[in-house]
Amino acid sequence: MKIEMKKITKSFGANQVLKGVNFTVESGEVHALMGENGAGKSTLMNILTGLYPANSGEILVDGQPTTYAGPMEAEQHGISFIHQEMNNFLEMPVVDNMFLNKELRNKFGLMDSKTMHDQAVHYLSQLGAKFDVDQPIGNLSVGRQQMVEIAKSLMTDAKIIIMDEPTAALTEAEIAQLFSVVRRLKADGVGFIYISHRMEEIFEIADKVTVMRDGLSITEYATKQVTMKQLVKDMVGREIDDFYP
């Protein structure tokens, strides 16, 4: 799957948040989206997944102009958005949270609780995540809850997974596990949009990076061909000699 967003603009009232953003991602690559708080990263992803429309611009999916009616429809077409705030019902079992999604239940057919349990364990074990899925999801660490989100994405046959600042609340060990999962899924052809400010992580996990500033996509680089210093400069709009010499 290839997604191309071209010259996307978006205003909220008088606030023009996106002034012509280009962004492309395809299966089997990790494309980082970087920019200061308020740069419009989440807005761009909300437009991609149909939460609200752009004012102008074009989204091509495999070359075809596309708009989704909402996140559910985007998900049905293989684009899964894992939000920073995971909206789980904390006192409900992990497995029930995994099967809240009505579309998912339809896809797998009406299921008895044993089948749901087995499916939950199956998808989590593909990520190397092993824990009791009958416990309340609120018992799990943020890192484990994120594994649950990725397992849910796999259940919907996600081709592109959007992760919004996924490591913000993770331990180092959890970050290592997340990255190994991302690498494995990437090798299977899944594409990732990886929203982060953490440059060390971007260099470690991403193939490409796009920097957003002032409502524009400033540049797209291959991470192999750019320095941290350049990324900081693009992000803040001026040379910063004190950082990352």
List residues near Mg ion by CB under 5 A: 37, 41-42
H helix runs in the chain, sequence order: 41-48, 71-76, 94-98, 102-108, 113-125, 142-155, 172-187, 199-205, 228-236
First-to-last C-alpha distance (Å) of the chain? 38
Among Mg ion, ligand ADP, none, partner that 35 touches (CB below 5 to 8 angstroms by kind): ligand ADP
In this structure, which amino acid lies at residue 15? Answer: N
Shortest Å, Cβ 212 to ligand ADP: 7
Residues 122-141 contacting ligand ADP, CB under 6 A: none
Shortest Å, Cβ 191 to ligand ADP: 20
> Strands 216-222, 208-213: parallel, antiparallel or unpaired by DSSP?
antiparallel
- Phi and psi dihedrals of 171, rounded to 5? -80, 170
Neighbours of 214 (CB within 10 A): 12
Shortest Å, Cβ 117 to ligand ADP: 36
Distant-in-sequence, close-in-space partners of 175: CB < 8 Å, separation ≥ 6: 167, 201
Residues 27-86 contacting ligand ADP, CB under 6 A: 35, 37-43
Among ligand ADP, Mg ion, none, partner that 40 touches (CB below 5 to 8 angstroms by kind): ligand ADP
Shortest Å, Cβ 35 to ligand ADP: 5
CA distance 202 to 41: 15
Among ligand ADP, Mg ion, none, partner that 43 touches (CB below 5 to 8 angstroms by kind): ligand ADP
Shortest Å, Cβ 106 to ligand ADP: 30
168 binds ligand ADP (CB under 6 A): no
HSE-CB at 222 with a 13 A cutoff on CA atoms is 2
CA distance 44 to 200: 23
Q: Which is nearer to ligand ADP, 84 or 113 (CB)?
A: 84
Mapped onto helix, strand or coil, the DSSP state of residue 145 is: helix
Shortest Å, Cβ 186 to ligand ADP: 23
Among ligand ADP, Mg ion, none, partner that 60 touches (CB below 5 to 8 angstroms by kind): none
Q: What is the CA radius of gyration of the chain?
A: 18
Q: Which is nearer to ligand ADP, 169 or 176 (CB)?
A: 169
- Give the interface size with ligand ADP as a residue count (CB under 6 A): 11
Among ligand ADP, Mg ion, none, partner that 39 touches (CB below 5 to 8 angstroms by kind): ligand ADP
Residues that bind ligand ADP (CB under 6 A): 12, 15, 17, 35, 37-43
